Amino acid sequence: MSLTLYLHPLASFCHKVLIALYENDTPFEASLVDLLDPEEAARFAELWPVGKMPVLRDSARDATIPETSVIIEYLDCHYPGSRPLIPGDIDAALQVRLWDRFFDLYIHVPMQKIVTDTLRASGENDPRGVSDARATLGVAYGMADRHFAANAFAGGAAFSLADCAAAPALFYAGIVEPFADKHPHLQAYFERLLERPSMRRVLAEARPHFHMFPLRDLMPARFLAEA
């Protein structure tokens, strides 16, 4: 098996790549990384000095691929499955890439800002930054809600890279800044994502680690129960 994905099953950006792999039943080996272990963190830094997961290693092509969007595009090019995640049509592909960036930058990143602020030592919190992150989420939710009033998936009619980005972003963002009550089209889209076997599998693998999530007490009960 030539593909190894370095990950942690609780990490939201790792979920994005796992969903892509599971959508196409792409064979790979998962290598769990514990960044709290200094020796393990040092070994991972040799692979990718930035130290952020996930990272894909392809031994067959002697390639190391970081960054979630690049990893998924790499898989689409070199290990294509029955479900292309980036359309061949250039305009459709640009739409998919736009919404991929939208979910990463305007939902995923602000969500992580809110979560990581809870881990800071007393006196080191950033209330202004958290407030700005919540404001960004509010704008993004409104934009997405209007988009999904007319689109089944982020890039249009078919599941794509953008939906791989949306699923974990919305999962965690909906915990820290709920959107269901005010954004019904976005909520309906999220429910469609939850029905996919790839997303169900990712959540099942993450569930044993949910106790490590800083805001676990805010998690809806349906995500904590065994499927």
CATH of domain 90-224: 1.20.1050.10
Q: How much of the chain, in percent, has pLDDT values that exceed 90?
A: 93
Domains 3-78 and 90-224 share a fold: no
What is the average per-residue pLDDT within 163-172? 98
The per-residue pLDDT for range 176-210, each reduced to its tens digit, is 999 999 999 999 999 999 999 999 999 999 999 99
Residues 6+ apart with CB under 8 A from 8: 14, 32, 33, 34, 35, 53, 209
226, two tokens? 């065994």
Q: Which parts of 24-88 fold into alpha helices (H)? A: 38-47, 68-78
Average pLDDT of the chain? 96
Rounded to an integer, the average pLDDT of 97-117 is 98
Q: Does 227 have pLDDT greater than 60? A: no
The beta strand positions in 34-165, using DSSP E, are 55-58, 63-66
CB distance 227 to 200 below 8 Å: yes
State residue 96's pLDDT score.
98
Please give the Cα distance from 9 to 124 (Å, whole number).
Answer: 28
CATH of the domain spanning 3-78? 3.40.30.10
CA separation, residue 171 to residues 13, 49, 56, 71, 184 (Å): 11, 28, 23, 21, 15
Q: What confidence score (pLDDT) does residue 121 get? A: 92
pLDDT-based confidence at residue 36 (cuts at 50, 70, 90) = confident
**Under 8 Å between Cβ of 122 and 109:** no
Instruction: Please report the pLDDT score of residue 1 as a whole number.
Output: 64
Mean pLDDT of 144-164: 97
Give tens-digit pLDDT for 207-223: 999 999 999 999 999 99
DSSP state of 125: -
As a whole-number percent, the residues of the chain with pLDDT over 70 amount to 99
Q: Which two tokens stand for residue 145?
A: 């809600």
Can you give the residue ranges of every domain in the chain? 3-78, 90-224
In terms of Cβ atoms closer than 10 Å to its own Cβ (0-12, 13-18, 19+), residue 50 is exposed
- The reported pLDDT for the residue numbered 35 is 87
